[in-house]
Structure 1
Amino acid sequence: MATAASADRLGRLLNLVPYLLARPGIRVAEAAADLGVTERQLREDLELLWVCGLPGYGPGDLIDMAFDGDRVTITYDAGIDRPLKLTPDEALALVVALRMLAETPGMGQRDAIERALAKIESSAGELADAPVAVRLPGNDDRLATIRGAVERHRALRITYYTASRDVLTERVVDPMRVLVAAGRAYLEAWCRRAEAVRLFRVDRIDGLIELDEPAAPPPQAQPSQLSEAVFTPTPELPLVTLRVGRGSRWITEYYPCEEIIAESTEHWLVSLRAADLGWARRLVLGLDPEVTVVAPAELAEAVRGEAHAALAAYGADPD
C-alpha cells in the first residue's frame, strides 16, 4: 500500500510543476481541489518540491516558488515545464529495458517486471510490437552458453582476462547467476581458485567449457548486493590521492571517492581506493597531463618512470 501511495505521489509531483506554471498565483485550496488531494497534502508536496531540482542541488538548481498569502507561483521550474509524457523513443527504450530484465536468469520480482512491461506496452500501442531483438551485452554465443550453464546448474572452466593486472587466468567456477550492472553483462559465480564469490565480465571471458559436473557453490557463497557500481572499495585496498585539474574532475563522478578537497578553483585533491596500484598507474597515465600523484610514493615513481620512458622513446627530453 505504501508503494502505491509513493507512486501516486511521484506522479502528482511530476505534473504539479507544469500545472502551477499554467496557473500563476492560484489559491492553494483551489489547486488541491483540482488535484483531488487535501490542502495539507498539497502543502507537503510543495515543501518536497523545494528540495527537488537539477544535479548540483544548490541555489539556482532547485525548484523555487513564491507564496503570497494563500496563493502560490512557480518562479523556477528546473526544466519540468510540461506534464510527463513518454516520446515514442522513450517508450521503446523502456520496453526494451524491461524485456531485457525479464530475460535475465535469476532476476527477482519478475511479476512486477511483467506488470510494468504490460502497462507500458499497452500505452505504447503498435510501437511495442516493433521487431527489436533483446540481448544482454556481451558475445551472444558466449552469453548463451553461460546462461545455459546457470539454468542447468553446471560448472564451467573459463579463461578470464583480468584488466587490473593485465593477465589471463584459467579457473573453474560454479555459476550462480547472470546479471547486468553499469550496462554490462556479468557472470556471478563461486571461483574455486579464489575460494570466493567473483563477478566475471562476460566480454572478458576468452574461453569457456561447460563441465560434466554440477555447479556446487558452498553455503557461504552469497549473491552480491549491487547498486550501479560493480567495484566496491574496501579499507584494505590501496588509497590513492591525486591532484586533478578541471579537465579530469569527471573521475569524481565515475569512480567512488573517499575524499574530495577543493584546494583552489583550479585544482582538487581526490582520494580513492584502487583495486591495485597497477590499475591506478594505467588510470593516471590515461588522464589529463595536469593530473599528479600525491600518494602513495611508489605510484608516483611508477607513473614518473613510464612517462620518462615514453618521452625517451620519442627522443624528447624528460625534463
Structure 2
Amino acid sequence: MSQKLSSRLARLLNMVPYFIANPGMSAAEAAAELGVSTAQLMDDLNQLWMCGLPGYGPGDLIDLSFSEESIEVTFSAGIDRPLRLTSTEATALLVALRSLVEMPGTADPSAVQGAIAKIESAAGVAAGGSVAGVADQREQAEDPVAATVRSAVRRGMALELTYFSASRDAVSQRVVDPVRIVLVDNHSYLQAWCRQAGGVRLFRFDRIDAASELDEPAAAPEAALEDGRAMDLFHDNPTLPQARLLIGPEHAWVMDYYPMTDVTVAADGSIEASMRYGSRDWMTRLMVGFGPGVRVLGPDDLAASVRNRAQAALAAYGEASTAD
C-alpha cells in the first residue's frame, strides 16, 4: 500500500470517533484539525459514507449527515465501540509495536513500551511473551538525535542537521523545515523542506549524525508540500548529472535496486537506462563493482573515470601477483 493510501485509510478510520466526539463541527474547522483541505475532507466523507459491514444495507453502512456547515455521525457501524482483540490480533499488534520501537523517531519508545505492557497484560503470555522481555525493553533509551528530530516535528521548529548523503557519498550541514516523520521500505525518514537544496527531501534517521533544534518556527512552502513527488525517494532530479548505462541480461537485477529512467530493453535482453548520481567518485566505484555486467555509455568523463579506476585495479592485482 502506498504512503498516500495508507495515510488516507488511517484518516478515514479515525473520522467516525472524531466526529462522534465533535458533533456539528463545520467542514472548515474539521479540515484544519485533520490537516487536509476542505475539498479532500468532503471527498473522504463521501468515501466513508459507502463503508460498513457485509450486507451493505440500512443498518450496515456508516451513515453521516454532512455539509460544509455541519458534520454529524448518525450511525457508526460499530467503529466507536471499544476494540476487543483476539489472541492472533493481539500478537500481530505486539509484533507491530515492537517493530515501531526499532524505528527511530516514529514514536516515544516509553509510550510504545507502555502500550506493549498493557496489551501483554490483557492478552496473556501466549500473545505477549514474558513480562521480563518488556522490562528489558524499557531500559532502552531513545536515541538523542531521534528524540531531537521528533520534538522539532511536534513543536513545528526548524532543525540544523549533520547528514550523510549516500548518493553523494558526503556529509553536509543543512537547515531544514520539518514536515512529518514517515516510514518507507522499513526505514524511518524525516520529510522536510531543505533550505540548501530548495526542495522537499527525505532524510533517513540512521544517516542523521547530529541534530539541533533552532529557535525559529519551521516554514516549509505550502506549494512544495502539495507536490506528490515529495514522498518519492527516487524522483528524477534534473540538477544532478545523469549516466546512460548498458546493462547486460545477467545483471537485469540492478534495475530492482537502483532508480532508473528512460529504460529500453533490446531483443537480446540487454537494457539501456539512465541513472542520476550525486558524486562521480561514488558512481565510479559502483560501476567498477559491477564489472563487465554494466557499461557506462555516457557522459564521457564518467566513462573515463570508470576505465581509469578499473585499469588501476588490474595494475594493482598484477603487482600483487608479481610480488607473490
TMscore range, shorter length: 0.5 to 0.7
Question: Structure 2 CA distance, aligned partners of 1:307 and 1:90?
Answer: 50
Q: Which residue of 2 aligns with 1:160?
A: 163
Deviations, residues 106-128 of structure 1 (Å, cap 9, x unaligned)? xxxxxxxxxxxxxxx9xxx6565
Q: Which residue of 1 aligns with 2:276?
A: 274
Distance 1:171 1:227, change over 3 A: closer
Q: Is the 8 A contact 2:91 2:128 kept in 1?
A: no
1:231 lines up with 2:230 in the alignment: no
Alignment of 1:186-265 (within 5 A): 186-222=189-225, 225=228, 229-234=232-237, 237-263=240-266, 265=268
Shift of 1:140: 2.9
Question: Structure 1 CA distance, aligned partners of 2:94 and 2:271?
Answer: 42
Code of the aligned partner of 1:195: G
Alignment of 1:48-67 (within 5 A): none
Question: Structure 1 CA distance, aligned partners of 2:231 and 2:175?
Answer: 27
SS at match of 2:233: coil
Shift of 1:217: 2.6
Q: Which residue of 2 aligns with 1:182?
A: 185
SS at match of 1:142: helix
SS at match of 2:296: strand
> Unaligned stretches of 5+ in structure 1?
10-35, 37-85, 106-120
Question: Structure 2 CA distance, aligned partners of 1:2 and 1:221?
Answer: 27
Q: Which residue of 1 aligns with 2:58?
A: none
Code of the aligned partner of 2:219: A
What TM-score, normalized to structure 2? 0.53
Q: Is the 8 A contact 1:238 1:274 kept in 2?
A: yes
Question: Structure 2 CA distance, aligned partners of 1:215 and 1:259?
Answer: 37
SS at match of 1:309: helix
Identity level (%): 38
> Alignment RMSD, CA only?
4.3
Q: Is the 8 A contact 2:201 2:230 kept in 1?
A: no
> Unaligned stretches of 5+ in structure 2?
1-45, 56-87, 108-118
Q: Is the 8 A contact 1:261 1:269 kept in 2?
A: yes
Q: Is the 8 A contact 2:245 2:275 kept in 1?
A: no
Residue from 143, 150, 153 that aligns with 1:140: 143
Alignment of 1:115-134 (within 5 A): 126=124, 129-130=128-129
Question: Structure 2 CA distance, aligned partners of 1:229 and 1:194?
Answer: 16
Q: Is the 8 A contact 1:95 1:128 kept in 2?
A: no
Q: Is the 8 A contact 2:242 2:277 kept in 1?
A: no
Alignment of 1:81-120 (within 5 A): 93=95, 104=106
Q: How many residues align?
A: 223
Q: Is the 8 A contact 2:91 2:127 kept in 1?
A: no
Residue from 305, 310, 320 that aligns with 1:307: 310
SS at match of 2:188: strand
Q: Is the 8 A contact 1:176 1:189 kept in 2?
A: yes
Deviations, residues 278-302 of structure 1 (Å, cap 9, x unaligned)? 2433331232443222233222111
What TM-score, normalized to structure 1? 0.54
Code of the aligned partner of 2:162: T
Q: Is the 8 A contact 2:192 2:201 kept in 1?
A: yes
